[in-house]
Chain A
Amino acid sequence: MKARYVLISLAIVTLLGACSREEKDLFDKSAAQRAQVALDNAFSILTEETNGWEMIYFANPESEGYNLIMEFDANGRVSATAKNATTTNNMILTDESTWAVKNDNGPILTFDTYNKVFHAWSDPRDDGDGLLGDYEFLILHADANHVKLKGKKHSAYCYLYPMESGKTPATYFAEIEATRTRFVGNGNLFHAVTPDGECLLNNGSSGVFSRSQVGEKPAEEDPELYPFGIRTGGIQLSLPLPEAPDTWYALSGSVFANDNSSTIFTASPAAYFGEYTEIAAGAWVVNVEDINDISKQAIDAVNAALKKAYSTNKKAAIKSLAFSQKDNGFVLTLGYLGTSSSKATEMDYLYSFEQQSGSVRLNYLEPADENAQKVLAAFPSLEPLFKSLNGTFALAAGDAVNPTLGMKMTENSNSSVWFNITGKK
Chain B
Amino acid sequence: MKKIYQILFVGALMVGLASCEKEKFTDSIFVDPVVETDTYTSEFDQWLQEHYTEPYNVDFRYRLDDSATDPNYNVVPVSMGMADTIAHLALYLWYDVYDEVAPEGFLRENGPRIIQLIGSAMINAAQGTEKLGQAEGGIKITLMKINQMRTNDIAQLNEYIFKTMHHEFSHILHQKKTYPKEFEQISSADYNPDGWQYTSDVEAWQMGFASPYGGSQAREDFVEIIANYIVKTDADINKMLTEAGKNGKPGKDKLERKIEICRTWLMEKWNLDLDALRAEVQERQSHLDWDKIMNLEF
Contacts and interface: CB of A to CB of B under 8 A. Distances in A.
Nearest to B129: A128
A130 B11 CA distance: 60
A76 interface: yes
A104 B67 contact: yes
Given A75-B39, A75-B40, A128-B123, A119 B12 contact: no
B120 A124 contact: yes
B123 A135 contact: no
Interface string B64-90: 111100010111111110110000000
Interface string B139-165: 000000001000000000000000000
B70 to A, nearest CB: 11
A110 B63 CA distance: 10
A73 to B, nearest CB: 7
A153 B12 contact: no
Contacts of B120: 123-124
A119 B119 contact: yes
B77 A113 contact: yes
Interface stretch (A3-11, A160-168, A242-250): A3-11
Interface string A102-123: 1010000011111110010011
Interface in B142-197: 147
A263 B61 CA distance: 49
A132 B9 contact: no
Nearest to A17: B16
Interface in A192-243: none
Contacts of B40: 73, 75-77, 98
A14 B93 CA distance: 53
Contacts of A112: 63-65, 77
Nearest to B83: A113
B8 A11 contact: yes
Interface string A85-106: 0000000000001101010100
A127 B8 contact: no
Contact of B80 (A98, A100, A127): A98
B294 to A, nearest CB: 19
A389 B59 CA distance: 77
Interface in A1-30: 4, 7-8, 10-12, 14-15, 17-18
Interface in A32-47: none
A116 B5 CA distance: 70
B74 A14 contact: no
Given A98-B63, A114-B76, A126 B15 contact: no
Nearest to B146: A114
Contacts of B83: 113
Interface string B101-132: 00000000000000000011111110000000
B235 interface: no
Interface of A is mostly: loop
A113 B9 contact: no
A70 to B, nearest CB: 15
A135 B16 contact: no
A124 B78 contact: no
Contacts of B75: 122, 124
Contacts of A8: 5, 8-9
B34 interface: no
A411 interface: no
B18 interface: yes
Contact of A119 (B77, B121, B123): B77
A152 interface: yes
B61 to A, nearest CB: 10
Contacts of A111: 77
Contacts of A14: 12-13, 15-16
A48 interface: no
Given A113-B63, A136-B66, A153 B16 contact: no
A136 B18 CA distance: 39
B151 to A, nearest CB: 16
B39 A76 contact: yes
Contacts of B16: 14-15, 17-18
A122 B123 contact: no
Contacts of B13: 11, 14
A129 interface: yes
Nearest to B127: A128
A130 B5 contact: no
A163 to B, nearest CB: 21
A152 B66 contact: yes
Contact of A130 (B12, B63, B74, B80): B74
A396 to B, nearest CB: 49
A104 B66 CA distance: 11
A128 B124 contact: yes
Contacts of A136: 66
30 contacts: A4-B5, A11-B9, A11-B11, A11-B12, A18-B19, A75-B38, A75-B40, A97-B79, A98-B40, A98-B41, A110-B64, A110-B65, A110-B66, A113-B62, A113-B63, A113-B64, A113-B78, A113-B80, A114-B119, A116-B79, A119-B76, A123-B76, A124-B74, A127-B123, A128-B74, A128-B122, A128-B123, A128-B125, A129-B125, A132-B74
Q: Which 6 residue pairs of A and B lie closest in terms of their CB atoms, listed nearest first?
A: A128-B123, A11-B12, A14-B16, A114-B79, A15-B12, A77-B40
Interface of B: 2, 5-6, 8-9, 11-13, 15-16, 18-19, 38-41, 62-67, 71, 73-80, 82-83, 119-125, 147
Given A7-B9, A11-B12, A113-B83, 4 more contacts: A4-B2, A112-B77, A119-B119, A135-B66
